[in-house]
């Protein structure tokens, strides 16, 4: 009678039939289940538990788990079942929808293999090394067990091929952040950034997913010959937004405008009456400009260059010359400094001419001598 019943059930539960089962025992290499509406035992070989390689059955299922299964073989004493086939069938339908819509989803990295990463989505998903990040990664060993976001970039059910990309998600997010940042940026904002690249004409600064250019003229209040003289890659800097061109994705930044200007507190550094050393920077018709601090030039008017009368400053000064100057007046608000060179020079006194009186005039008043001379001239 029992054999007859088994034969009947073997006829009902043909290969491909879907059944429900409850886990009653987990062995190392297979799982025993009780099959709903059947007196036959159900056996799930470890190879049919998952689309991925499984070392131990207990890594996939536990006692009393209720599973949807497919019959892959009918034996007299048992049904050989597959969890993998049901999972894959459900997975492909879901994955096709995700692929068509471009949906982003999360998945755990199950394994690290040569050439990339493996995830379990009901079917085996592969992430090539080049599609993991938007930068080079030398060692992927730390990725196992991590949960990352993915997009499907290639799907072929017939070939059981599923290619995923985390890099695509990262790049799309950066584009969204860039657009959002561009929309929010306004001239005058001060932000923190990182020097990304240095060129001959300036430095590119990352201000949160987008680069802006600090032109060489905006690196410092002082004259800069080479940007690398004042900044270096990786350096954290504060920058002020000068302009934003959203159509061309161009941002002009300034480091100089976040720094104290050379004229800040100039009244304290160069008070009226103080004596400073400076360098003649420019000679003009009405005077000379002398740099007394980096970026701070004061005017020595031509009248303050020398006690002697001079036609042009070039007569006594030359560019690059070091001179001592006295501060005559300082105006921090208007950034003006009046200087004098002659105030520090001694006035050359003209020596009085010696006048030797004639021998015969000694003892007489000078007026008398002059009077006599005049008389002689009349005669």
Residues in Cβ contact with 158 at an 8 Å cutoff, skipping those fewer than 6 apart: none
Residues in Cβ contact with 303 at an 8 Å cutoff, skipping those fewer than 6 apart: none
367 in a structural domain: no
140 and 81 both lie in a single domain = no
pLDDT of residue 272: 94
339 in a structural domain: yes
DSSP state of 72: E
**H/E stretch holding 84:** helix 83-101
354 in a structural domain: no
pLDDT of residue 363: 44
81 and 119 both lie in a single domain = no
Domain count within the chain: 4
Q: Looking up tokens 């086939």, which residue turns up?
A: 85
26 in a structural domain: yes
334 and 279 both lie in a single domain = yes
pLDDT of residue 348: 52
361 in a structural domain: no
- Tell which residue, 341, 274, 348, 275, has the closest CA to residue 302: 341
Cβ pair 222, 229 in contact under 8 A:
no
In this structure, the strands spanning 211-215 and 250-254 are parallel
81 and 7 both lie in a single domain = yes
pLDDT of residue 367: 47
11 and 77 both lie in a single domain = yes
pLDDT of residue 350: 43
34 and 72 both lie in a single domain = yes
270 and 328 both lie in a single domain = yes
238 in a structural domain: yes
110 and 58 both lie in a single domain = no
301 and 333 both lie in a single domain = yes
- Ordered per-residue pLDDT tens for the chain, 379 residues: 445 545 545 556 788 888 998 899 988 888 899 898 888 889 999 888 887 777 888 888 888 888 888 899 888 888 999 998 888 888 898 999 999 999 999 999 999 999 999 998 988 999 999 999 999 999 999 999 999 999 999 999 889 899 999 999 999 998 888 888 888 999 999 999 999 999 999 999 999 888 999 999 999 988 899 999 999 999 999 999 999 998 888 999 999 999 888 888 899 999 999 999 999 999 999 999 999 998 899 999 999 999 999 999 999 999 999 999 999 999 988 999 999 999 998 765 444 444 444 444 444 444 444 445 444 444 4
118 and 135 both lie in a single domain = yes
Residue 220 belongs to domain spanning: 185-258
Domain with residue 219: its CATH number is 2.40.50.140
163 in a structural domain: yes
Residues in Cβ contact with 286 at an 8 Å cutoff, skipping those fewer than 6 apart: 301, 302
372 in a structural domain: no
Cβ pair 120, 110 in contact under 8 A:
yes
9 and 81 both lie in a single domain = yes
């Amino acid at each position: 009678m029992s054999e007859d019943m088994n034969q009947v059930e073997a006829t009902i539960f043909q290969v491909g039939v879907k059944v429900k089962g409850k886990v009653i025992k987990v062995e190392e290499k297979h799982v025993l289940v009780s099959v709903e509406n059947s007196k036959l035992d159900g056996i799930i070989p470890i190879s049919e538990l998952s689309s991925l390689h499984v070392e131990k059955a207990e890594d996939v299922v536990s006692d009393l788990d209720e599973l949807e299964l497919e019959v892959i073989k009918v034996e007299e004493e048992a049904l050989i079942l597959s969890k993998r086939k049901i999972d894959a069938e459900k997975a492909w339908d879901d994955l096709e929808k995700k692929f068509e819509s471009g949906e982003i989803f999360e998945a755990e990295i199950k394994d690290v293999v040569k050439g990339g990463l493996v995830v379990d989505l009901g079917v085996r998903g592969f992430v090539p090394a080049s599609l993991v990040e938007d930068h080079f990664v030398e060692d992927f060993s730390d990725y196992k067990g991590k949960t990352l976001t993915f997009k499907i970039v290639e799907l072929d059910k017939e070939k059981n091929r599923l290619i995923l990309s985390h890099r695509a998600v990262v790049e799309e997010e950066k584009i969204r952040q860039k657009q959002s940042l561009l929309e929010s940026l306004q001239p005058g904002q001060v932000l923190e950034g990182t020097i990304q690249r240095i060129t001959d004409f300036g430095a590119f600064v990352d201000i949160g997913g987008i680069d802006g250019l600090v032109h060489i003229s905006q690196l410092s209040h002082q004259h800069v010959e080479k940007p690398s003289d004042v900044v270096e890659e990786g350096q954290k800097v504060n920058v002020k937004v000068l302009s934003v061109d959203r159509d061309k994705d161009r941002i002009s930044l300034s480091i100089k405008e976040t720094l104290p200007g050379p004229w800040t507190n100039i009244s304290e550094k160069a008070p009226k009456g103080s004596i400073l050393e400076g360098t003649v920077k420019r000679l003009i018709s009405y005077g000379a400009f002398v740099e007394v601090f980096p970026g701070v030039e004061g005017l020595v008017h031509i009248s303050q260059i020398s006690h002697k009368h001079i036609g042009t400053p070039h007569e006594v000064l030359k560019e690059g010359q070091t001179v001592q100057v006295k501060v005559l007046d300082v105006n921090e608000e208007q950034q003006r400094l009046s200087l004098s060179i002659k105030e520090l020079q001694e006035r050359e006194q003209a020596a009085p001419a010696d006048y030797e009186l004639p021998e015969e005039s000694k003892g007489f008043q000078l007026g008398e001598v002059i009077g006599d001379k005049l008389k002689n001239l009349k005669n």
